[in-house]
């Protein structure tokens, strides 16, 4: 009897062991492509940090229906070619069911054909309108569209009867998309673009372009780009003594821009998600609870406040979580569930996806903010 009991115990232990192995094998593997290093690191680092923080919290709470999430992150360094290679690796080698990122518009446009061919859901953290327009079944995004950002700025200018504008955009994917929107929407708001110029992503002086603007009829300047170029523009504007109102895109919606531009940041206005002014929002704001929790949680983990860009990754992970909670567990079923999400109050706004809308936000996702005393204030 003792021998038989020992045998039963051995079998039971073996079953428990293999059950544990089986359970561990049932993790849900999600891929992530972020520009953790390189010029766009101000985007990718908070995105990587946020994604890992949220995944860890989900797992600590028991995962999704008892299954842990496994996040596989690769650093693209902002390089579209590298992003394509790593997306292929995530799909072919790591067998992920969905991919979050990349951080930039150029990388996302390069990766899209890969994820579309392999039918893997891609939730981009970049802002270019072309990412989801026209709609492709496998591509979604969490960053607010530059279409909406342009509308916010133009509405502000229209109310103040500033109808002659100079635009200065960076010559990359984000800048090209923003420039297209600025040119395309100007007439709708009665605005004439008196100067349309560009600068390179690595340029360190824009005085030539700004001197041209100073000699024009421009009543305001709109700079469209991501760090560090816009900070150079801000400094050059001050150095040249240009007194025109200066507007930036949401591509610089973080304290990093204020650090880079220094005193030259004072008075600049830009459209942004609500996260950087979360504490200034009324209690009735649908996003405030999520925003405050994110800002405080990120600060607890990384000793700085969560920002606009990390928020794109928060939204991406939480949108995937919502799809998985509805029973999705394959790329195709995740895609289907993402498309059904509505009324989700995230960091970037209140999302509502549909078969004809994979951006999911309206212009209300943006507020206008002004930089005063090295901090953000809401613009009426």
Rounded mean pLDDT, 301-305: 91
Residue 306: predicted pLDDT: 86
> Does the pLDDT value for residue 4 go beyond 50?
no
**Cα 105 to Cα 175, 220, 359, distances in angstroms:** 9, 26, 14
Rounded mean pLDDT, 83-92: 98
Domain architecture of the chain: domains with CATH: 23-144+287-362 (3.40.50.2300), 147-272 (3.40.50.2300)
| 344-366 pLDDT per residue, tens | 999 999 999 999 999 999 988 99
| 274-297 pLDDT per residue, tens | 999 999 999 999 899 999 999 999
| 117-126 pLDDT per residue, tens | 999 999 999 9
Sheet holding 122-124, edge to edge: 69-75, 28-34, 98-100, 122-124, 139-141
Helix (H) or strand (E) holding 367, with range, is strand 367-372
Residue 280: predicted pLDDT: 92
Rounded mean pLDDT, 50-62: 97
Sign of the torsion angle spanned by Cα atoms 279, 45, 181, 228: positive
Cβ burial, residue 12 (10 Å; 0-12/13-18/19+):
exposed
Q: Reply yes or no: is the peptide bond before residue 134 cis, omega within 30 of 0.
A: yes
Residue 363: predicted pLDDT: 84
Residues 6 or more apart whose CB falls under 8 angstroms from that of 149 comprise 127, 178, 181, 249, 250, 271, 366
2 against 46, higher pLDDT: 46
Sign of the torsion angle spanned by Cα atoms 57, 99, 230, 144: negative
Maximum Cα interatomic distance, the chain, rounded to a whole number of Å: 100
**Mean pLDDT score across all residues of the chain:** 92
> Does the pLDDT value for residue 236 go beyond 90?
yes
Rounded percentage of the chain residues whose pLDDT exceeds 70: 93
pTM of the entire predicted model: 0.84
Confidence of residue 24 (pLDDT cuts 50, 70, 90): low
- Report the alpha-carbon distance of residue 76 to residue 69 in Å, rounded: 22
Q: Which two tokens stand for residue 145?
A: 């569209």
**Cα 242 to Cα 188, 198, 215, 238, 245, distances in angstroms:** 27, 18, 10, 6, 9
Q: Which two tokens stand for residue 238?
A: 């001050």
């Amino acid at each position: 009897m003792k021998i038989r009991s020992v045998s039963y115990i051995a079998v039971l232990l073996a079953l428990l062991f293999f059950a544990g192995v089986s359970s561990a094998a049932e993790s849900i593997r999600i891929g992530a492509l972020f520009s953790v290093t390189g010029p766009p690191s101000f985007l990718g680092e908070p995105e990587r940090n946020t994604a890992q923080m949220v995944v860890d919290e989900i797992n600590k709470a028991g995962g999704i229906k008892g299954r842990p999430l496994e996040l596989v992150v690769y650093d693209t360094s902002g390089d579209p070619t590298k992003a394509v290679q790593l997306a292929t690796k995530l799909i072919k080698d790591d067998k992920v069911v969905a991919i979050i990122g990349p951080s930039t518009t150029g990388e996302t446009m390069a990766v899209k054909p890969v994820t579309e061919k392999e039918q893997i859901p891609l939730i981009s953290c970049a802002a270019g309108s072309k990412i989801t327009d026209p709609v492709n079944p496998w591509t979604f995004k969490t960053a607010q569209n530059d279409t909406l950002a342009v509308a916010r700025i133009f509405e502000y200018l229209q109310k103040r009867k500033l109808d002659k504008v100079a635009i200065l955009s960076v010559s990359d994917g984000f800048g090209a998309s923003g420039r297209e929107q600025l040119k395309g929407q100007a007439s709708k708001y009665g605005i004439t673009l008196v100067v349309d110029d560009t600068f390179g992503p690595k340029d360190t002086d824009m005085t030539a372009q700004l001197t041209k603007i100073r000699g024009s009829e421009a009543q305001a300047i709109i700079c469209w780009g991501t760090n560090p170029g816009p900070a150079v523009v801000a400094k050059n504007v001050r150095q040249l003594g240009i007194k025109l109102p200066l507007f930036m895109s949401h591509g610089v919606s973080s304290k990093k821009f204020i650090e880079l531009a220094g005193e030259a940041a004072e008075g600049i206005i830009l459209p942004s998600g609500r996260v950087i002014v979360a504490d200034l929002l009324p209690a009735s704001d649908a996003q405030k609870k999520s925003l405050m929790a994110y800002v405080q949680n990120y600060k607890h983990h990384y000793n700085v406040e969560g920002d606009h860009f990390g928020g794109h990754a928060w939204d991406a992970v939480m949108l995937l979580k919502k799809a998985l909670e509805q029973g999705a567990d394959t790329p195709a079923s995740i895609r289907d569930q993402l498309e059904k999400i509505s009324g989700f109050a995230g960091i970037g706004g209140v999302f509502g996806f549909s078969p004809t809308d994979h951006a999911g936000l309206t212009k209300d996702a943006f507020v206008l903010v002004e930089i005063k005393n090295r901090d953000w204030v809401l613009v009426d």
